[in-house]
Structure 1
């Protein structure tokens, strides 16, 4: 059996894993150590050697923070398009160590392996801190697999996968998608990438650094501060020849919000992900004509609302 055939067989197997998770719904799964080792290593292989900047063309569904809200993830697939035939982009902060973190991780990894070109998962703040700290998610490994060698192996494999996650996605050559913010003043090469400017096809590029901001940090909001931030972002977008930034590092009560003179769109896709805000989850669905629908998801009640918006880009 050649390598191509072997990989195709793996993709078929992970499609079955996806189907099982979708059919069973929001329940705990009893994963074996061997299975988790295999899926993490296969996920690493799926993104090994790929650029940390992903270039995408609509149609695409864009999801903000879900933070281990597994039931919301299942509802997203049910209402916004099954992973078998729909393209998805996740802006990071997909797992936070709470219940169903492993289920959320396994389902997303299975999607990435089975459909590598249709699933984009960016590194977020939560994933970034996993590289340097033994946070609560690693704690879940320790609880499920008390054997020290086993949880350490799983933790090392997870960190290896996270290190290879892309930091930025460019949608339709004009929209920069990331978890937090970026700057052209590069001071940390580990979080620096070079992006193609607008529709230049690589003839013009800019080096930027991704800044991972702590979750849900209150910002001073004054007319002067808003004006300064709007000008700063507009200047950055002009350098890149882009028209909009999409991020997900703040919890939005209604699920999405345009700010800074319509140059910033912030999306939250997991519901009730903050103790302080009773937020709704939203998915941005952009079709091939760039018509955009914001679908509000409420997995607890099983309903969904839609609002159509034409993005200015």
Structure 2
């Protein structure tokens, strides 16, 4: 397959032929199989939270953050479901991973699973566009190969959901066997489903039905014991695009799908980690998708694009 031609086609919001998707998924398995469960990444790098099939927002994100290979990226899961263009969103990210394997890191989200995508849109989208479930099955196999976390310069820990009482160290996460459908309980599940909660000191049952609510005590312990300065996670819609749930500001929620589900009116944010590891938020950009089925997109900036410290 011609990767450059495929990227150009997908950027026009066109999905690939079935055979090209088969070749792409097979290539991704080869690349991802060589990566650690916790991928080491060097700054400078730009971090991105949930995308959820909002394809035109992904294009805008790459415009705001900078195009590859000039900028290195970590995308922290939930590429699919909810939005109208999960297939094109995922395909573009996979193609970029093939073309620039050392410049883009894709970690798994809780929506990168067979059970969840059957309910929230990706399965139905693949079925409608290909008249079969083959592409969905190939993509789900790629999901099984995705790393569970990334570690930037040994000090910034990136994960989709949060912490687990079973996994007190980064080394304990590295030893996990990940190449399987996401289990409904246990450490890997917790990493992708858990949420921080300011009103919880330690651990509590999550209302999501998977993972835990965790407080400042395990957060501080994880950071102290692993030499981590900042935990960056996504998984939760936050109106301003990012949010610090704890006073110590050693954990931040990052959300990158503006106007989520085309009705929430929220902002989106990306997080840049420069060489000196001082986190800089680039936020306050908003995209309102109008007549998106026809591909007619109008972008409206928020009150002045700004850097947020």
SS of the aligned residue for 1:279 comes to: coil
Q: Deviations over 1:81-105 (max 9, x none)?
A: 1123210100111111531111101
1:194 alignment counterpart:
174
SS of the aligned residue for 2:160 comes to: coil
Please, what TM-score do these two structures have when normalized by structure 2? 0.78
Residues 132 and 249 (structure 1 numbering): CA distance in 2 closer, same or farther, change over 3 Å? closer
Of the candidates 140, 157, 160, which is equivalent to residue 159 of structure 1?
Answer: 140
Q: Deviations over 1:38-71 (max 9, x none)?
A: 2222222221232111011111000011111111
Question: Aligned equivalents of 2:91 and 2:125: distance in 1?
Answer: 14
1:137 aligns with 2:122: yes
1:90 aligns with 2:60: no
Residues 20 and 267 (structure 1 numbering): CA distance in 2 closer, same or farther, change over 3 Å? same
SS of the aligned residue for 1:284 comes to: strand
Of the candidates 243, 248, 254, which is equivalent to residue 234 of structure 2?
Answer: 248
Unaligned runs of at least 5 residues, structure 2: 176-186, 204-213, 289-298
Q: Deviations over 1:191-213 (max 9, x none)?
A: x6238xxxxxxxxxxxx755156
What's the CA shift for 1:116?
0.5
**What pairs up with 1:14-33 in 2 under 5 angstroms?**
14-22=3-11, 24=12, 28-33=13-18
What's the CA shift for 1:307?
1.4
Q: Please say if residues 95 and 101 of structure 1, whose CA atoms lie closer than 8 Å, have aligned partners that are also in contact.
A: yes
How many equivalent pairs are there?
A: 270
2:254 alignment counterpart:
267
1:4 alignment counterpart:
none
2:243 alignment counterpart:
257
RMSD, matched Cα: 2.8
SS of the aligned residue for 1:42 comes to: helix
Of the candidates 218, 230, 234, which is equivalent to residue 232 of structure 1?
Answer: 218
Question: Aligned equivalents of 2:116 and 2:300: distance in 1?
Answer: 38
Q: Please say if residues 68 and 98 of structure 1, whose CA atoms lie closer than 8 Å, have aligned partners that are also in contact.
A: yes
What's the CA shift for 1:240?
1.4
Question: Aligned equivalents of 2:142 and 2:39: distance in 1?
Answer: 16
Question: Aligned equivalents of 1:285 and 1:143: distance in 2?
Answer: 37
Question: Aligned equivalents of 1:224 and 1:181: distance in 2?
Answer: 15
What's the CA shift for 1:278?
2.3
1:299 aligns with 2:278: no
Question: Aligned equivalents of 1:287 and 1:220: distance in 2?
Answer: 28
What's the CA shift for 1:254?
0.4
Question: Aligned equivalents of 2:30 and 2:124: distance in 1?
Answer: 25
Residues 163 and 221 (structure 1 numbering): CA distance in 2 closer, same or farther, change over 3 Å? same
Question: Aligned equivalents of 1:220 and 1:288: distance in 2?
Answer: 30
Of the candidates 38, 48, 61, which is equivalent to residue 76 of structure 1?
Answer: 61
Question: Aligned equivalents of 2:198 and 2:90: distance in 1?
Answer: 35
* Greater RCO structure (CA 8 Å; 6+ sep): 1
Q: Please say if residues 237 and 244 of structure 1, whose CA atoms lie closer than 8 Å, have aligned partners that are also in contact.
A: yes
Q: Deviations over 1:214-268 (max 9, x none)?
A: 59x8x87648689x81122101222212122110011110001122121111100
Question: Aligned equivalents of 1:165 and 1:273: distance in 2?
Answer: 24
Question: Aligned equivalents of 2:193 and 2:200: distance in 1?
Answer: 23
Question: Aligned equivalents of 1:225 and 1:184: distance in 2?
Answer: 10
Please, what TM-score do these two structures have when normalized by structure 1? 0.77
Question: Aligned equivalents of 2:164 and 2:102: distance in 1?
Answer: 27
Q: Deviations over 1:260-307 (max 9, x none)?
A: 121111100111225784211111112223243312232332436121
Unaligned runs of at least 5 residues, structure 1: 1-9, 196-207
